[in-house]
Structure 1
Protein backbone atom coordinates (compact mmCIF):
# COMPACT_ATOMS: atom_id res chain seq x y z
CA UNK A 1 0.00 0.00 0.00
CA UNK A 2 2.84 2.40 0.85
CA UNK A 3 4.66 1.93 -2.49
CA UNK A 4 1.44 2.63 -4.38
CA UNK A 5 0.95 5.86 -2.42
CA UNK A 6 4.50 6.99 -3.23
CA UNK A 7 3.89 6.37 -6.93
CA UNK A 8 0.77 8.50 -6.87
CA UNK A 9 2.56 11.31 -5.07
CA UNK A 10 5.37 11.21 -7.62
CA UNK A 11 2.93 11.45 -10.50
CA UNK A 12 1.21 14.42 -8.89
CA UNK A 13 4.55 16.17 -8.54
CA UNK A 14 5.19 15.85 -12.26
CA UNK A 15 1.87 17.42 -13.16
CA UNK A 16 1.34 21.16 -12.90
CA UNK A 17 -1.64 22.62 -11.12
CA UNK A 18 -3.33 23.12 -14.50
CA UNK A 19 -2.91 19.46 -15.38
CA UNK A 20 -0.21 20.04 -18.02
CA UNK A 21 2.79 17.70 -17.79
CA UNK A 22 6.16 19.40 -17.30
CA UNK A 23 8.04 16.87 -19.39
CA UNK A 24 6.28 17.54 -22.72
CA UNK A 25 8.82 17.82 -25.51
CA UNK A 26 7.54 20.16 -28.20
CA UNK A 27 8.49 19.44 -31.81
CA UNK A 28 8.30 22.03 -34.64
CA UNK A 29 5.51 21.87 -37.23
CA UNK A 30 6.16 20.29 -40.61
CA UNK A 31 5.27 21.12 -44.22
CA UNK A 32 5.25 24.88 -43.61
CA UNK A 33 4.37 26.61 -46.89
CA UNK A 34 3.48 30.07 -48.17
CA UNK A 35 1.11 30.16 -51.14
CA UNK A 36 0.03 33.26 -53.06
CA UNK A 37 -3.77 33.23 -53.21
CA UNK A 38 -4.41 36.67 -54.68
CA UNK A 39 -3.00 40.13 -55.24
CA UNK A 40 -1.01 41.04 -52.10
CA UNK A 41 -2.46 38.02 -50.30
CA UNK A 42 -0.93 34.74 -49.11
CA UNK A 43 -2.00 31.58 -47.28
CA UNK A 44 0.40 30.28 -44.63
CA UNK A 45 -0.18 26.64 -43.71
CA UNK A 46 1.58 23.84 -41.82
CA UNK A 47 0.90 20.48 -40.18
CA UNK A 48 1.53 19.18 -36.66
CA UNK A 49 4.67 17.15 -36.27
CA UNK A 50 3.61 13.48 -36.61
CA UNK A 51 6.09 12.52 -33.88
CA UNK A 52 4.66 14.99 -31.40
CA UNK A 53 3.43 13.31 -28.19
CA UNK A 54 0.11 14.82 -27.14
CA UNK A 55 -0.14 13.38 -23.60
CA UNK A 56 -3.56 14.93 -23.17
CA UNK A 57 -2.41 18.54 -23.84
CA UNK A 58 -3.74 21.01 -26.36
CA UNK A 59 -1.15 22.29 -28.80
CA UNK A 60 -1.07 25.74 -30.34
CA UNK A 61 1.18 27.63 -32.73
CA UNK A 62 3.10 30.87 -32.62
CA UNK A 63 3.23 32.45 -36.11
CA UNK A 64 5.57 35.33 -36.85
CA UNK A 65 5.46 37.27 -40.12
CA UNK A 66 8.79 38.96 -40.89
CA UNK A 67 7.92 41.11 -43.89
CA UNK A 68 7.66 44.07 -43.93
CA UNK A 69 7.90 44.03 -40.11
CA UNK A 70 7.41 41.44 -37.37
CA UNK A 71 3.75 40.58 -36.79
CA UNK A 72 2.94 37.85 -34.22
CA UNK A 73 -0.10 35.58 -33.84
CA UNK A 74 -0.99 32.73 -31.50
CA UNK A 75 -3.27 30.22 -33.20
CA UNK A 76 -5.05 26.96 -32.46
CA UNK A 77 -5.40 25.97 -36.11
CA UNK A 78 -2.74 25.23 -38.71
CA UNK A 79 -3.12 28.07 -41.18
CA UNK A 80 -3.80 31.77 -41.67
CA UNK A 81 -4.39 34.16 -44.54
CA UNK A 82 -2.31 37.32 -44.55
CA UNK A 83 -2.27 40.50 -46.67
CA UNK A 84 0.99 42.24 -47.52
CA UNK A 85 2.80 43.80 -50.47
CA UNK A 86 4.78 41.00 -52.11
CA UNK A 87 7.00 42.82 -54.63
CA UNK A 88 9.93 42.71 -52.17
CA UNK A 89 9.35 39.11 -51.13
CA UNK A 90 7.74 37.65 -48.03
CA UNK A 91 8.86 35.42 -45.15
CA UNK A 92 7.43 33.97 -41.95
CA UNK A 93 8.20 31.46 -39.18
CA UNK A 94 6.09 29.20 -36.97
CA UNK A 95 6.68 27.07 -33.87
CA UNK A 96 4.66 24.78 -31.61
CA UNK A 97 3.50 25.97 -28.16
CA UNK A 98 1.29 24.68 -25.35
CA UNK A 99 -2.05 26.44 -25.69
CA UNK A 100 -3.05 26.21 -22.01
CA UNK A 101 0.16 27.59 -20.55
CA UNK A 102 1.27 31.24 -20.43
CA UNK A 103 4.14 31.80 -20.84
CA UNK A 104 4.44 28.65 -22.87
CA UNK A 105 7.46 26.57 -23.72
CA UNK A 106 8.01 26.38 -27.44
CA UNK A 107 9.66 24.27 -30.09
CA UNK A 108 12.31 25.62 -32.41
CA UNK A 109 11.22 27.83 -35.31
CA UNK A 110 10.67 26.62 -38.86
CA UNK A 111 10.62 29.19 -41.65
CA UNK A 112 9.39 29.67 -45.21
CA UNK A 113 10.04 32.39 -47.76
CA UNK A 114 8.68 33.84 -50.98
CA UNK A 115 11.37 35.45 -53.05
CA UNK A 116 10.80 38.78 -54.72
CA UNK A 117 9.31 38.36 -58.21
CA UNK A 118 11.82 38.51 -61.08
CA UNK A 119 12.47 41.67 -63.03
CA UNK A 120 15.18 44.17 -63.84
CA UNK A 121 15.90 46.79 -61.15
CA UNK A 122 14.38 50.21 -61.79
CA UNK A 123 11.74 48.95 -64.23
CA UNK A 124 8.72 48.72 -61.92
CA UNK A 125 6.08 51.43 -61.71
CA UNK A 126 6.81 54.15 -59.13
CA UNK A 127 4.80 56.76 -57.23
CA UNK A 128 1.57 54.78 -57.41
CA UNK A 129 -1.37 56.82 -56.11
CA UNK A 130 -5.09 56.14 -56.26
CA UNK A 131 -8.31 58.11 -55.84
CA UNK A 132 -11.74 56.75 -54.96
CA UNK A 133 -14.92 58.67 -55.68
CA UNK A 134 -18.21 57.77 -54.01
CA UNK A 135 -21.37 58.91 -55.79
CA UNK A 136 -25.07 58.14 -55.61
CA UNK A 137 -26.59 55.84 -58.16
CA UNK A 138 -25.26 52.42 -57.27
CA UNK A 139 -27.24 49.20 -56.94
CA UNK A 140 -30.18 49.86 -54.59
CA UNK A 141 -30.43 46.21 -53.59
CA UNK A 142 -26.86 46.20 -52.22
CA UNK A 143 -25.79 49.80 -51.59
CA UNK A 144 -27.24 53.16 -52.75
CA UNK A 145 -23.93 54.41 -54.13
CA UNK A 146 -21.11 53.44 -56.46
CA UNK A 147 -17.37 53.80 -56.01
CA UNK A 148 -15.07 54.64 -58.91
CA UNK A 149 -11.29 54.30 -58.82
CA UNK A 150 -8.53 56.30 -60.49
CA UNK A 151 -4.85 55.42 -60.22
CA UNK A 152 -1.70 57.01 -61.63
CA UNK A 153 1.99 56.15 -61.59
CA UNK A 154 5.26 56.90 -63.34
CA UNK A 155 7.35 54.56 -65.42
CA UNK A 156 10.52 53.27 -63.78
CA UNK A 157 13.70 55.13 -64.65
CA UNK A 158 15.23 52.00 -66.17
CA UNK A 159 12.09 50.89 -68.00
CA UNK A 160 12.68 50.63 -71.79
CA UNK A 161 10.67 52.84 -74.11
CA UNK A 162 8.59 49.87 -75.29
CA UNK A 163 7.43 49.05 -71.74
CA UNK A 164 3.71 48.66 -71.27
CA UNK A 165 2.15 48.62 -67.81
CA UNK A 166 -1.07 46.95 -66.69
CA UNK A 167 -2.99 47.68 -63.51
CA UNK A 168 -5.43 45.56 -61.55
CA UNK A 169 -6.99 45.81 -58.10
CA UNK A 170 -8.40 43.40 -55.54
CA UNK A 171 -11.03 44.19 -52.95
CA UNK A 172 -12.13 41.25 -50.83
CA UNK A 173 -12.20 38.18 -53.03
CA UNK A 174 -12.78 40.03 -56.31
CA UNK A 175 -9.98 41.08 -58.67
CA UNK A 176 -10.48 43.34 -61.71
CA UNK A 177 -8.13 44.41 -64.50
CA UNK A 178 -8.09 47.96 -65.83
CA UNK A 179 -9.70 48.59 -69.23
CA UNK A 180 -9.36 52.37 -69.55
CA UNK A 181 -5.80 53.72 -69.53
CA UNK A 182 -4.10 57.08 -69.87
CA UNK A 183 -0.68 57.18 -71.56
CA UNK A 184 2.47 59.28 -71.46
CA UNK A 185 4.39 60.75 -74.43
CA UNK A 186 5.91 57.33 -75.15
CA UNK A 187 2.44 55.76 -75.23
CA UNK A 188 3.07 53.85 -72.01
CA UNK A 189 0.13 53.29 -69.68
CA UNK A 190 0.58 55.55 -66.65
CA UNK A 191 -3.00 56.05 -65.46
CA UNK A 192 -6.16 53.99 -65.10
CA UNK A 193 -9.85 54.60 -64.45
CA UNK A 194 -12.53 52.22 -63.18
CA UNK A 195 -15.92 54.01 -63.53
CA UNK A 196 -17.50 51.45 -61.18
CA UNK A 197 -15.90 48.96 -58.80
CA UNK A 198 -16.74 46.37 -56.17
CA UNK A 199 -15.14 48.57 -53.49
CA UNK A 200 -17.25 49.30 -50.43
CA UNK A 201 -16.40 52.91 -49.60
CA UNK A 202 -17.48 52.36 -46.00
CA UNK A 203 -15.92 48.91 -45.66
CA UNK A 204 -12.99 47.77 -43.55
CA UNK A 205 -11.15 45.63 -46.10
CA UNK A 206 -7.85 46.78 -47.55
CA UNK A 207 -7.63 47.76 -51.22
CA UNK A 208 -4.82 45.94 -53.04
CA UNK A 209 -3.49 47.52 -56.23
CA UNK A 210 -0.84 45.99 -58.47
CA UNK A 211 0.99 47.16 -61.61
CA UNK A 212 2.78 44.62 -63.82
CA UNK A 213 4.57 45.27 -67.09
CA UNK A 214 5.99 43.79 -70.26
CA UNK A 215 8.79 44.69 -72.65
CA UNK A 216 10.74 43.01 -75.44
CA UNK A 217 13.98 44.47 -74.10
CA UNK A 218 13.81 43.76 -70.35
CA UNK A 219 11.87 41.89 -67.67
CA UNK A 220 9.62 44.39 -65.95
CA UNK A 221 9.44 43.99 -62.19
CA UNK A 222 5.87 44.09 -60.78
CA UNK A 223 4.76 46.40 -57.99
CA UNK A 224 1.90 46.07 -55.51
CA UNK A 225 0.56 48.14 -52.65
CA UNK A 226 -2.15 47.96 -49.98
CA UNK A 227 -4.38 50.93 -49.16
CA UNK A 228 -6.40 51.04 -45.90
CA UNK A 229 -9.63 52.78 -46.91
CA UNK A 230 -11.01 53.07 -43.39
CA UNK A 231 -8.01 55.08 -42.20
CA UNK A 232 -8.25 57.78 -44.85
CA UNK A 233 -9.96 61.10 -44.16
CA UNK A 234 -11.76 59.97 -41.00
CA UNK A 235 -10.22 62.41 -38.55
CA UNK A 236 -11.01 65.67 -40.34
CA UNK A 237 -14.01 64.74 -42.45
CA UNK A 238 -17.19 65.97 -40.76
CA UNK A 239 -20.62 64.48 -41.37
CA UNK A 240 -22.70 66.34 -43.96
CA UNK A 241 -25.40 67.13 -41.39
CA UNK A 242 -22.85 68.86 -39.15
CA UNK A 243 -21.89 71.27 -41.93
CA UNK A 244 -25.51 71.95 -42.84
CA UNK A 245 -26.41 72.74 -39.23
CA UNK A 246 -23.97 75.69 -39.13
CA UNK A 247 -26.01 78.05 -41.40
CA UNK A 248 -29.29 76.74 -40.00
CA UNK A 249 -28.21 77.47 -36.42
CA UNK A 250 -27.02 80.95 -37.36
CA UNK A 251 -30.36 81.67 -39.03
CA UNK A 252 -32.38 80.57 -35.98
CA UNK A 253 -30.23 82.65 -33.62
CA UNK A 254 -30.69 85.75 -35.78
CA UNK A 255 -34.46 85.25 -35.88
CA UNK A 256 -34.59 84.91 -32.09
CA UNK A 257 -32.58 88.10 -31.46
CA UNK A 258 -34.66 90.14 -33.86
CA UNK A 259 -37.91 88.92 -32.36
CA UNK A 260 -36.98 90.44 -28.98
CA UNK A 261 -37.92 93.90 -30.16
CA UNK A 262 -39.92 95.17 -33.10
CA UNK A 263 -38.14 98.53 -32.95
CA UNK A 264 -34.85 96.99 -33.92
CA UNK A 265 -36.32 94.96 -36.72
CA UNK A 266 -34.78 97.10 -39.45
CA UNK A 267 -31.42 96.96 -37.70
CA UNK A 268 -31.58 93.19 -37.47
CA UNK A 269 -32.34 92.98 -41.15
CA UNK A 270 -29.09 94.78 -41.87
CA UNK A 271 -27.05 92.91 -39.28
CA UNK A 272 -28.49 89.48 -40.06
CA UNK A 273 -29.49 89.26 -43.71
CA UNK A 274 -31.58 86.24 -44.63
CA UNK A 275 -29.51 83.07 -44.78
CA UNK A 276 -30.24 80.99 -47.85
CA UNK A 277 -31.84 77.67 -47.03
CA UNK A 278 -29.94 74.48 -47.64
CA UNK A 279 -30.17 73.00 -51.07
CA UNK A 280 -32.75 70.31 -51.54
CA UNK A 281 -30.15 67.63 -52.20
CA UNK A 282 -27.53 66.90 -49.59
CA UNK A 283 -25.31 65.70 -52.40
CA UNK A 284 -24.80 69.32 -53.53
CA UNK A 285 -21.78 69.33 -51.28
CA UNK A 286 -18.57 67.64 -52.33
CA UNK A 287 -15.90 66.51 -49.87
CA UNK A 288 -12.41 66.15 -51.21
CA UNK A 289 -9.64 64.61 -49.16
CA UNK A 290 -6.11 64.57 -50.52
CA UNK A 291 -3.90 61.96 -48.90
CA UNK A 292 -0.38 61.09 -49.86
CA UNK A 293 1.58 58.39 -48.11
CA UNK A 294 5.04 57.35 -49.10
CA UNK A 295 7.69 55.01 -47.87
CA UNK A 296 10.62 55.78 -45.64
CA UNK A 297 11.85 59.32 -45.91
CA UNK A 298 8.63 60.61 -47.44
CA UNK A 299 6.06 62.84 -45.84
CA UNK A 300 2.35 62.59 -45.40
CA UNK A 301 -0.11 65.38 -46.03
CA UNK A 302 -3.84 65.70 -45.63
CA UNK A 303 -5.84 68.46 -47.32
CA UNK A 304 -9.56 68.79 -46.76
CA UNK A 305 -11.87 71.07 -48.73
CA UNK A 306 -15.61 71.38 -49.25
CA UNK A 307 -17.13 73.03 -52.31
CA UNK A 308 -20.60 73.43 -53.72
CA UNK A 309 -21.62 71.84 -57.00
CA UNK A 310 -24.49 73.06 -59.13
CA UNK A 311 -26.80 70.50 -60.71
CA UNK A 312 -24.17 67.73 -60.93
CA UNK A 313 -24.63 64.03 -60.12
CA UNK A 314 -24.70 63.54 -56.39
CA UNK A 315 -21.15 63.09 -55.10
CA UNK A 316 -20.60 62.00 -51.55
CA UNK A 317 -16.83 61.97 -51.15
CA UNK A 318 -13.50 61.84 -52.93
CA UNK A 319 -10.60 60.05 -51.31
CA UNK A 320 -7.03 60.49 -52.47
CA UNK A 321 -4.38 58.20 -51.03
Structure 2
Protein backbone atom coordinates (compact mmCIF):
# COMPACT_ATOMS: atom_id res chain seq x y z
CA UNK A 1 0.00 0.00 0.00
CA UNK A 2 1.63 3.26 -1.10
CA UNK A 3 1.04 6.80 0.06
CA UNK A 4 1.72 10.06 -1.72
CA UNK A 5 0.95 12.57 1.01
CA UNK A 6 3.45 14.65 2.98
CA UNK A 7 3.99 11.97 5.60
CA UNK A 8 5.87 9.82 3.11
CA UNK A 9 7.53 12.44 0.91
CA UNK A 10 11.11 12.05 -0.31
CA UNK A 11 11.26 8.43 0.82
CA UNK A 12 12.59 5.73 -1.47
CA UNK A 13 10.64 2.46 -1.61
CA UNK A 14 11.85 -0.02 0.94
CA UNK A 15 11.09 -3.68 1.59
CA UNK A 16 9.82 -4.18 5.11
CA UNK A 17 9.44 -7.53 6.87
CA UNK A 18 7.62 -7.82 10.15
CA UNK A 19 10.35 -10.16 11.37
CA UNK A 20 13.21 -7.71 10.93
CA UNK A 21 15.08 -7.15 14.18
CA UNK A 22 16.75 -3.76 14.44
CA UNK A 23 20.20 -3.54 15.93
CA UNK A 24 20.68 -1.29 18.97
CA UNK A 25 21.94 2.17 18.06
CA UNK A 26 24.69 3.47 20.29
CA UNK A 27 26.84 5.76 18.17
CA UNK A 28 26.98 9.30 19.48
CA UNK A 29 29.73 11.09 17.55
CA UNK A 30 28.68 14.09 15.49
CA UNK A 31 29.81 12.48 12.24
CA UNK A 32 27.42 9.60 12.85
CA UNK A 33 24.29 11.77 13.18
CA UNK A 34 23.42 11.45 9.49
CA UNK A 35 23.54 7.67 9.66
CA UNK A 36 21.51 7.68 12.87
CA UNK A 37 18.89 9.91 11.31
CA UNK A 38 18.63 7.62 8.31
CA UNK A 39 17.96 4.61 10.54
CA UNK A 40 14.87 6.39 11.89
CA UNK A 41 13.45 7.41 8.49
CA UNK A 42 9.75 6.71 7.91
CA UNK A 43 9.05 3.83 5.52
CA UNK A 44 7.37 4.50 2.19
CA UNK A 45 4.88 1.64 2.33
CA UNK A 46 2.88 -0.43 4.79
CA UNK A 47 3.81 -4.12 4.86
CA UNK A 48 0.87 -6.50 4.71
CA UNK A 49 1.36 -10.26 5.19
CA UNK A 50 0.84 -12.47 2.13
CA UNK A 51 -1.67 -14.47 4.15
CA UNK A 52 -3.85 -11.37 4.50
CA UNK A 53 -3.13 -8.95 1.65
CA UNK A 54 -4.52 -5.43 1.57
CA UNK A 55 -7.58 -4.35 -0.36
CA UNK A 56 -9.45 -1.08 0.17
CA UNK A 57 -12.70 -2.95 0.63
CA UNK A 58 -11.22 -5.20 3.31
CA UNK A 59 -9.81 -2.21 5.20
CA UNK A 60 -13.18 -0.42 5.02
CA UNK A 61 -14.95 -3.50 6.35
CA UNK A 62 -12.37 -3.80 9.13
CA UNK A 63 -12.91 -0.17 10.08
CA UNK A 64 -16.64 -0.76 10.41
CA UNK A 65 -15.98 -3.77 12.63
CA UNK A 66 -13.46 -1.81 14.72
CA UNK A 67 -16.22 0.66 15.62
CA UNK A 68 -19.01 -1.96 15.80
CA UNK A 69 -20.59 -2.19 19.30
CA UNK A 70 -22.49 -5.35 18.29
CA UNK A 71 -19.16 -7.17 18.69
CA UNK A 72 -19.55 -6.87 22.46
CA UNK A 73 -21.82 -8.94 24.66
CA UNK A 74 -23.95 -6.03 25.81
CA UNK A 75 -23.56 -4.16 22.50
CA UNK A 76 -22.12 -1.17 24.31
CA UNK A 77 -18.39 -1.45 23.55
CA UNK A 78 -16.19 -1.67 20.49
CA UNK A 79 -12.47 -1.83 19.78
CA UNK A 80 -12.28 1.97 19.92
CA UNK A 81 -13.55 1.91 23.52
CA UNK A 82 -9.99 1.04 24.56
CA UNK A 83 -8.20 2.23 21.41
CA UNK A 84 -9.59 5.72 20.92
CA UNK A 85 -8.17 7.65 17.95
CA UNK A 86 -8.54 10.90 19.92
CA UNK A 87 -5.92 9.71 22.40
CA UNK A 88 -3.27 8.14 20.19
CA UNK A 89 -5.43 5.02 19.83
CA UNK A 90 -5.33 4.41 23.58
CA UNK A 91 -7.44 5.82 26.41
CA UNK A 92 -6.38 8.60 28.82
CA UNK A 93 -6.90 6.58 32.00
CA UNK A 94 -4.52 4.49 34.08
CA UNK A 95 -5.93 1.23 32.76
CA UNK A 96 -8.69 0.55 30.27
CA UNK A 97 -12.25 -0.16 31.41
CA UNK A 98 -13.84 -3.36 30.18
CA UNK A 99 -17.21 -5.09 30.43
CA UNK A 100 -19.42 -4.35 33.44
CA UNK A 101 -17.25 -1.30 34.20
CA UNK A 102 -14.32 -3.57 35.08
CA UNK A 103 -10.94 -1.87 35.43
CA UNK A 104 -8.43 -3.97 33.53
CA UNK A 105 -4.99 -4.81 34.92
CA UNK A 106 -3.05 -3.17 32.12
CA UNK A 107 -3.10 -0.06 30.00
CA UNK A 108 -4.48 -0.49 26.48
CA UNK A 109 -1.52 -0.56 24.09
CA UNK A 110 -1.86 1.69 21.07
CA UNK A 111 -2.67 0.20 17.69
CA UNK A 112 -0.46 2.79 15.99
CA UNK A 113 1.88 1.21 13.45
CA UNK A 114 0.39 -2.24 13.91
CA UNK A 115 1.97 -3.29 10.60
CA UNK A 116 5.43 -3.02 12.16
CA UNK A 117 4.57 -4.65 15.50
CA UNK A 118 5.19 -8.25 16.53
CA UNK A 119 4.19 -10.00 18.68
CA UNK A 120 1.09 -8.44 20.28
CA UNK A 121 -0.17 -7.53 23.75
CA UNK A 122 2.16 -6.29 26.48
CA UNK A 123 3.22 -9.89 27.13
CA UNK A 124 3.43 -10.97 23.48
CA UNK A 125 0.90 -13.76 23.75
CA UNK A 126 -0.48 -13.20 20.23
CA UNK A 127 1.78 -13.75 17.24
CA UNK A 128 -0.24 -11.71 14.75
CA UNK A 129 -2.71 -8.85 14.55
CA UNK A 130 -5.33 -11.37 13.46
CA UNK A 131 -4.77 -13.47 16.57
CA UNK A 132 -4.73 -10.37 18.75
CA UNK A 133 -8.11 -9.22 17.41
CA UNK A 134 -9.76 -12.35 18.74
CA UNK A 135 -8.66 -11.83 22.34
CA UNK A 136 -10.56 -8.70 23.44
CA UNK A 137 -13.79 -9.75 21.73
CA UNK A 138 -13.98 -13.01 23.68
CA UNK A 139 -12.38 -11.90 26.96
CA UNK A 140 -15.00 -11.91 29.72
CA UNK A 141 -13.59 -8.73 31.27
CA UNK A 142 -13.41 -6.93 27.93
CA UNK A 143 -15.97 -7.19 25.13
CA UNK A 144 -17.31 -10.51 26.45
CA UNK A 145 -18.72 -12.08 23.28
CA UNK A 146 -17.82 -15.61 22.11
CA UNK A 147 -16.46 -15.47 18.57
CA UNK A 148 -19.04 -17.91 17.09
CA UNK A 149 -21.77 -15.74 18.57
CA UNK A 150 -20.16 -12.65 17.06
CA UNK A 151 -20.25 -14.27 13.64
CA UNK A 152 -23.86 -15.34 14.11
CA UNK A 153 -24.83 -11.84 15.18
CA UNK A 154 -23.20 -10.22 12.16
CA UNK A 155 -24.67 -12.90 9.91
CA UNK A 156 -28.15 -11.65 10.72
CA UNK A 157 -27.31 -8.28 9.16
CA UNK A 158 -27.77 -8.50 5.38
CA UNK A 159 -25.35 -5.71 4.55
CA UNK A 160 -22.56 -7.39 6.50
CA UNK A 161 -23.27 -10.72 4.78
CA UNK A 162 -23.05 -9.01 1.38
CA UNK A 163 -19.91 -7.14 2.38
CA UNK A 164 -18.12 -10.28 3.55
CA UNK A 165 -19.16 -12.21 0.43
CA UNK A 166 -17.67 -9.45 -1.71
CA UNK A 167 -14.42 -9.11 0.24
CA UNK A 168 -13.98 -12.83 0.92
CA UNK A 169 -15.81 -14.54 -1.98
CA UNK A 170 -14.42 -17.98 -1.17
CA UNK A 171 -15.18 -17.90 2.57
CA UNK A 172 -17.78 -15.28 3.37
CA UNK A 173 -18.33 -14.40 7.01
CA UNK A 174 -16.28 -16.52 9.41
CA UNK A 175 -14.26 -15.92 12.56
CA UNK A 176 -11.08 -15.83 10.49
CA UNK A 177 -12.37 -13.40 7.87
CA UNK A 178 -13.78 -11.16 10.57
CA UNK A 179 -10.42 -10.79 12.31
CA UNK A 180 -8.57 -10.53 8.99
CA UNK A 181 -10.66 -7.49 8.15
CA UNK A 182 -10.05 -5.89 11.56
CA UNK A 183 -6.29 -6.56 11.32
CA UNK A 184 -6.17 -5.06 7.83
CA UNK A 185 -7.76 -1.85 9.06
CA UNK A 186 -5.43 -1.71 12.05
CA UNK A 187 -2.40 -2.00 9.76
CA UNK A 188 -3.53 1.16 7.98
CA UNK A 189 -3.33 3.12 11.24
CA UNK A 190 0.04 4.84 10.95
CA UNK A 191 1.47 7.54 13.21
CA UNK A 192 1.20 11.01 11.73
CA UNK A 193 4.09 12.86 10.09
CA UNK A 194 5.92 14.50 12.99
CA UNK A 195 8.40 17.39 13.28
CA UNK A 196 11.11 14.77 13.75
CA UNK A 197 10.23 13.28 10.35
CA UNK A 198 10.53 16.71 8.74
CA UNK A 199 13.98 17.04 10.32
CA UNK A 200 14.95 13.63 8.97
CA UNK A 201 13.77 14.83 5.55
CA UNK A 202 16.14 17.81 5.71
CA UNK A 203 14.22 20.64 7.40
CA UNK A 204 16.72 21.78 10.03
CA UNK A 205 14.19 24.19 11.50
CA UNK A 206 11.56 21.52 12.11
CA UNK A 207 12.70 20.74 15.65
CA UNK A 208 14.38 22.80 18.34
CA UNK A 209 18.07 22.76 19.23
CA UNK A 210 17.03 21.15 22.51
CA UNK A 211 15.33 18.30 20.63
CA UNK A 212 18.41 17.85 18.43
CA UNK A 213 20.58 17.55 21.53
CA UNK A 214 17.99 15.16 22.91
CA UNK A 215 18.33 12.95 19.83
CA UNK A 216 22.09 12.72 20.40
CA UNK A 217 21.48 11.82 24.05
CA UNK A 218 18.69 9.39 23.16
CA UNK A 219 20.98 7.47 20.81
CA UNK A 220 23.98 7.71 23.10
CA UNK A 221 24.46 8.67 26.73
CA UNK A 222 20.84 8.13 27.76
CA UNK A 223 20.86 4.61 26.25
CA UNK A 224 17.23 4.88 25.09
CA UNK A 225 17.79 3.57 21.57
CA UNK A 226 18.99 0.20 22.82
CA UNK A 227 15.29 -0.68 23.11
CA UNK A 228 13.56 2.17 21.27
CA UNK A 229 15.10 1.58 17.84
CA UNK A 230 14.01 2.04 14.24
CA UNK A 231 11.37 4.32 12.81
CA UNK A 232 8.71 2.95 15.19
CA UNK A 233 11.04 3.36 18.18
CA UNK A 234 10.71 -0.19 19.47
CA UNK A 235 12.77 -3.37 19.28
CA UNK A 236 9.56 -5.43 19.70
CA UNK A 237 11.24 -7.25 22.59
CA UNK A 238 10.48 -7.68 26.29
CA UNK A 239 12.29 -5.97 29.14
CA UNK A 240 11.79 -5.63 32.88
CA UNK A 241 12.41 -1.95 33.48
CA UNK A 242 11.49 -2.10 37.15
CA UNK A 243 7.91 -0.86 37.09
CA UNK A 244 6.33 -3.82 38.88
CA UNK A 245 6.99 -6.94 40.91
CA UNK A 246 3.36 -8.13 40.85
CA UNK A 247 2.55 -8.66 37.16
CA UNK A 248 4.97 -11.25 35.75
CA UNK A 249 4.27 -10.15 32.16
CA UNK A 250 6.24 -12.16 29.61
CA UNK A 251 7.30 -14.49 32.42
CA UNK A 252 3.98 -16.31 32.10
CA UNK A 253 5.15 -17.65 28.73
CA UNK A 254 8.86 -18.01 29.49
CA UNK A 255 8.87 -19.43 32.99
CA UNK A 256 12.48 -20.60 32.73
CA UNK A 257 13.81 -17.24 31.58
CA UNK A 258 14.65 -15.04 34.57
CA UNK A 259 14.85 -11.94 32.37
CA UNK A 260 11.27 -12.52 31.16
CA UNK A 261 9.87 -12.11 34.66
CA UNK A 262 8.01 -8.78 35.05
CA UNK A 263 9.05 -7.95 31.47
CA UNK A 264 6.83 -6.15 28.96
CA UNK A 265 7.10 -5.30 25.30
CA UNK A 266 8.83 -2.06 24.35
CA UNK A 267 6.11 0.38 23.23
CA UNK A 268 6.46 2.76 20.32
CA UNK A 269 7.29 6.36 21.22
CA UNK A 270 5.38 7.76 18.25
CA UNK A 271 2.67 10.30 19.19
CA UNK A 272 3.68 9.89 22.85
CA UNK A 273 2.28 13.23 24.00
CA UNK A 274 -1.21 12.06 22.98
CA UNK A 275 -0.92 8.80 24.89
CA UNK A 276 -0.50 9.52 28.60
CA UNK A 277 -0.47 7.87 31.09
CA UNK A 278 2.54 5.68 30.40
CA UNK A 279 3.91 2.18 31.06
CA UNK A 280 2.05 -1.14 30.88
CA UNK A 281 0.04 -0.23 33.98
CA UNK A 282 -0.47 3.47 33.32
CA UNK A 283 1.48 4.21 36.49
CA UNK A 284 3.31 7.30 35.21
CA UNK A 285 1.29 10.36 34.30
CA UNK A 286 3.95 12.44 32.56
CA UNK A 287 7.06 12.10 30.43
CA UNK A 288 8.94 13.75 33.28
CA UNK A 289 7.98 10.87 35.57
CA UNK A 290 9.12 8.40 32.94
CA UNK A 291 12.42 10.22 32.57
CA UNK A 292 13.07 10.17 36.32
CA UNK A 293 12.33 6.46 36.45
CA UNK A 294 15.05 5.78 33.90
CA UNK A 295 17.47 8.19 35.54
CA UNK A 296 17.03 6.26 38.80
CA UNK A 297 17.81 2.99 36.99
CA UNK A 298 14.62 1.07 37.74
CA UNK A 299 15.61 -0.35 41.13
CA UNK A 300 17.11 -3.78 41.81
CA UNK A 301 15.79 -7.16 40.73
CA UNK A 302 17.35 -10.39 39.37
CA UNK A 303 15.14 -10.02 36.31
CA UNK A 304 15.87 -6.32 35.73
CA UNK A 305 16.95 -5.74 32.14
CA UNK A 306 20.72 -5.43 31.75
CA UNK A 307 20.11 -2.18 29.87
CA UNK A 308 18.64 -0.61 33.02
CA UNK A 309 21.30 1.38 34.86
CA UNK A 310 21.22 4.74 36.65
CA UNK A 311 21.79 7.58 34.21
CA UNK A 312 24.02 10.56 34.91
CA UNK A 313 21.91 13.12 33.12
CA UNK A 314 21.69 16.73 34.21
CA UNK A 315 18.36 18.47 34.45
CA UNK A 316 19.02 20.21 31.13
CA UNK A 317 19.90 16.90 29.48
CA UNK A 318 16.72 15.30 30.77
CA UNK A 319 14.70 18.18 29.32
CA UNK A 320 16.50 17.77 26.00
CA UNK A 321 15.55 14.08 25.81
CA UNK A 322 11.92 14.93 26.64
CA UNK A 323 11.89 17.65 23.99
CA UNK A 324 13.15 15.10 21.48
CA UNK A 325 10.40 12.61 22.43
CA UNK A 326 7.83 15.39 22.04
CA UNK A 327 9.11 15.96 18.49
CA UNK A 328 7.82 12.47 17.61
CA UNK A 329 4.20 13.64 17.88
CA UNK A 330 2.57 14.99 14.76
CA UNK A 331 -0.80 16.61 14.28
CA UNK A 332 -3.78 14.79 15.74
CA UNK A 333 -5.38 12.62 13.11
CA UNK A 334 -8.98 13.18 12.10
CA UNK A 335 -10.79 9.86 11.86
CA UNK A 336 -14.17 9.75 10.14
CA UNK A 337 -16.48 7.31 11.85
CA UNK A 338 -18.01 4.68 9.56
CA UNK A 339 -21.73 4.40 8.93
CA UNK A 340 -22.61 0.99 10.30
CA UNK A 341 -25.11 -1.37 8.65
CA UNK A 342 -28.57 -1.61 10.21
Note whether the superposition's TM-score is higher than 0.5.
no
TM-score, reference length from structure 1: 0.22
Report which of the two has the higher share of strand: 1
